[in-house]
Structure 1
């Protein structure tokens, strides 16, 4: 395989991390990441951020907070 270069690796990084590139592109980008510390660091940041956001989206607000928000919304609606 040939090194795809930093520009292509960075441009297609999000798709690569979501496995949305073809097998050849995936191989080329993976090989580039193995040999380029800067792009590997960028991939690590992107992967970590994606995982943190995914976890945050799965978490539910505490029941008490939910009740407080609903109570406040009802109070606002009652005055309008």
Structure 2
């Protein structure tokens, strides 16, 4: 393992957080994050945002909103 440096850690951070990098690169990024406060902060922010987006994607719209949207779509389709 070797510390990959800030440039590579930041470039590959999103893939690293989604477990989409090879094990060697993941180990290098993990090692870098252990020693670099700046990259730790960026990783925390990216993780927080990723988690928030994932939670938001699991939510469903209220039934009345879904029905309203469907009504509007039907109205638009009827005019075309």
Same fold (TM over 0.5): yes
| Consecutive unaligned residues in structure 2, runs of 5 or more | none
Shift of 1:2: 2.4
2:48 aligned with 1:48? yes
Deviation beyond 6 Å, 4+ runs, structure 1 = none
TM-score w.r.t. the length of structure 2 is 0.87
Q: Which of 66-75 and 36-45 deviates more?
A: 66-75
* Number of matched pairs: 80
Q: Which ranges of structure 1 fall in alignment gaps of 5 or more residues?
A: none
**Cα distance in 2, alignment partners of residues 17 and 54 from structure 1:** 13
What CA deviation, in whole Å up to 9, does each residue of 1:31-74 have, x standing for no partner? 11111111011111111111111111111110000111111222
For the aligned residue pairs, the C-alpha RMSD in angstroms reads 1.3
CA distance in 2, matches of 1:3, 1:42: 17
Structure 1 length as normaliser, TM-score? 0.87
